[in-house]
Structure 1
């Protein structure tokens, strides 16, 4: 059977991918990925009567993007409250240390007042800077439509490691704290 004698294709078996897409009015996903245009935009441009908002895989991507933004900004809002409270506590480091002593059951009183004020202020500033850097990266990733929910979590861990190290320095130089630690070991 020659090519001229072939029967008319019933299911597009002889059609090229472009002809098949034109026939079923589906956008070219490869083209969409290369140009950065979303599949929904390409579908709307190709056939506005067939594009239905909230349908198809692109709406799942839009929903996950919205969920990512909500989670990211909820984490940032929660962190903002915690940073404000913790920074104020660290600025009054002698009272912060007294609370640490009480919670840990350390007998005695915190006496490294000058060192506590310096290191507490450094810890508070580091906490605020860590939050600002984390918020900046989160907003940039969100604006670039990249997943950003993890940035506040990683930022919190990194910032708290730094702040914890700064807060431990004046505690380790306090006689009551070091006596308590040596009595434990």
Structure 2
């Protein structure tokens, strides 16, 4: 028999392994920071620091959708609302002039019996507008940071808080007996 069949191969003659040849697929992905197939599209950002076989895994961050036109429209509506709130403050705080204007628009020739009674209502309306704008802005920014469509929030906030402030401003007019008498007299003609 020949000696060649019984001899073991020389370990020096064997080729050296290539980089990563003996690593598991998970170890290879962790080294090259590639997510596993089941981790490629997570619903929320996942930050894990738990080591897999002694190798810390790379954080996988979900891609957020961007809405640049929505952001522009939202900020434009918020800016318009801020200008509206600032312009309304002096008009509301001069309740006598506001009441005359409203009565003129309604076509009623009347004077408020107590114009000073409307001032607390006007202050409340200003507070409602200012706080409403702040709440609307906070909700809009919070919604935009979560990459959600936000243009409707300033519109809804503007409608709700403007109508509430308008109702507060009209309340003293509707409670004044002189205005009611003038309204009744104008409907009899």
Q: Does TM, normalized by the shorter one, top 0.5?
A: yes
CA shift, 1:145, in A, is 1.3
CA shift, 1:124, in A, is 1.0
Counterpart Cα distance in 2 of 1:143 and 1:35: 14
Q: Which runs of 4+ in 1 moved over 4 A?
A: none
Alignment match, 2:43: 34
Counterpart Cα distance in 1 of 2:80 and 2:107: 30
Greater C-alpha Rg: 2
In structure 1, stretches of 5+ residues that fail to align are 1-27, 40-60
**Aligned-partner SS, 2:113:** coil
CA shift, 1:175, in A, is 2.9
The 3 A distance-change label for structure 1 pair 34 and 176 is same
The 3 A distance-change label for structure 1 pair 33 and 177 is farther
TM-score normalised by L of structure 1? 0.65
The 3 A distance-change label for structure 1 pair 170 and 38 is same
Alignment match, 2:181: 179
Are 1:160 and 2:162 matched, yes or no? yes
CA shift, 1:177, in A, is 2.0
Counterpart Cα distance in 1 of 2:159 and 2:43: 36
Alignment match, 1:130: 132
Counterpart Cα distance in 1 of 2:102 and 2:69: 38
Q: Deviations over 1:77-105 (max 9, x none)?
A: 01111111112211111111111112222
Q: CA RMSD in A?
A: 2.4
Alignment match, 2:30: none
8 A Cα contact 2:110 2:182, kept in partner: no
Counterpart Cα distance in 1 of 2:43 and 2:125: 46
Counterpart Cα distance in 1 of 2:144 and 2:43: 21
Number of residue equivalences? 136
8 A Cα contact 1:123 1:163, kept in partner: yes
